[in-house]
Amino acid sequence: MDDVPAFTPVNLITGFLGSGKTTLLQRLLDDPAMADTAVLINEFGEVGLDHHLLDRIDDTMVLLPSGCLCCTIRGELSAAIRDLHGRRERGEVPPFRRLAVESTGLADPFPILSTVQADPVLRHHFRWGNIVTTIDAVNGGSQLDRRPESVKQAAVADRLVLTKSDLVTGAQAEALVARLRTINPSAPLVRAAEEPIRADALLAHDLFAASARAEAARRWFTVEEGAQAHGAGVQAFVLALDETVDWTRFGLWLTMLLNRHGEKVLRVKGMLNVEGSDAPVAIHGVQYLVHPPVHMAAWPDDERRSRLVFIVDGLEPAAIEGSLRAFLRR
């Protein structure tokens, strides 16, 4: 088991009903890069595995030609992940290094993410990884207008996959892309009808790959300071601090903010210029959940100051900034 990471990342594939999650999964499952991945899906039949099935382990698990272990979810997600972990420990299934979970179309991403952190067994062996959200170019705009969960799925994404763009005009696709950029400015966007779908590009978490951290951090700050982007009530903004930050004070402030307003803080990510450290500390969170901080090897650019990107729903950026500055001055 030496080739299994200490904490296996749990990646979430989400998107509204009919947005192309199943098609995305079909393309991912054929990718040789999925050889070290286990995938939890809702139903085998929906993904159409029968024609390229290599080895049926039991009624809930199959091993695909790509080497990917594909499993159906029966009952609670936490129980399914614990079962997979136990089988891996006993050598009954290949020693997968990452996990991908398919959500239902109406699912709020947060309860799925919190499963890992809330379960006492899972949080010692797993951490959450990327959130990949599919958006249908034909119906995506109207879904963003009418369904709050669709907006949240786009806002919390680490990767956005635009599907069915070949079924609309170029102008219609660009209008939806522009809207998605206002909701989530820093997530890379893949056009599934025009670009190859690569598992490593979608599921590799930048903060946990040292070689990718600097580029990931630069991409976070695509929102101009002071700018606010709006999408169905969602705002994205950058908060910058010139002074060094007391880590203990900041951690206490962030904990209090999320305890009180976590439902409205869809994403927070950024780098902190922490007192006593020559390199920045990266933070990354979704609603009430925050990754353990990552100590980066060096600053990604010449701007050596704290910068935080918030995506919020129903919170005033000025109130967040004022609260943080007042807390750090104490």
State yes or no: pLDDT of 158 exceeds 60.
yes
Using a 10 angstrom Cβ sphere, with 0-12 exposed, 13-18 middle and 19 or more buried, the burial of residue 145 is exposed
Q: Assign residue 13 the CATH number of its domain.
A: 3.40.50.300
CA-closest candidate to residue 111, choices 96, 98, 125, 101:
101
State yes or no: pLDDT of 229 exceeds 60.
no
Average pLDDT, the chain: 83
Q: Give the Cβ contact number of residue 67 at 10 Å.
A: 16
Q: Is the same domain home to 161 and 307?
A: no
Domain that holds residue 286: 223-329
The tally of domains found in the chain comes to 2
Lowest mean pLDDT among 139-148, 200-209, 287-296: 200-209
* Domain boundary residue, one of 204, 231, 247: 204
Lowest mean pLDDT among 40-44, 98-102, 258-262, 308-312: 40-44
State yes or no: pLDDT of 166 exceeds 90.
yes
pLDDT at residue 290 in the model: 87
| Average pLDDT over every residue of 40-54 | 55
In a domain? residue 59: yes
pLDDT at residue 50 in the model: 44
Q: Band of the pLDDT at 76, cuts 50, 70, 90?
A: confident
pLDDT at residue 227 in the model: 43
pLDDT at residue 230 in the model: 43
Helix axes 148-155 and 170-183, enclosed angle (nearest 10): 80
In a domain? residue 217: no
pLDDT at residue 289 in the model: 86
CA-closest candidate to residue 74, choices 118, 47, 41:
41
In a domain? residue 137: yes
Q: Is the same domain home to 156 and 252?
A: no
Q: Is the same domain home to 54 and 196?
A: yes
191's tokens: 């056009």
In a domain? residue 190: yes
pLDDT at residue 206 in the model: 55
| Average pLDDT over every residue of 220-235 | 52
In a domain? residue 218: no
| Average pLDDT over every residue of 153-167 | 94
* Domain boundary residue, one of 176, 204, 232: 204
In a domain? residue 50: yes
Q: Is the same domain home to 246 and 168?
A: no
Place of tokens 């999408």: 231
User: Model-level pTM?
Assistant: 0.80
Higher pLDDT, 166 or 42: 166
| Average pLDDT over every residue of 236-262 | 93
Helix axes 109-118 and 148-155, enclosed angle (nearest 10): 60
Rg of the chain taking only CA atoms, in angstroms: 20
pLDDT at residue 71 in the model: 80
In a domain? residue 57: yes
CA-closest candidate to residue 69, choices 97, 45, 50:
97
CB 156 within 8 A of CB 236: no
State yes or no: pLDDT of 209 exceeds 70.
no
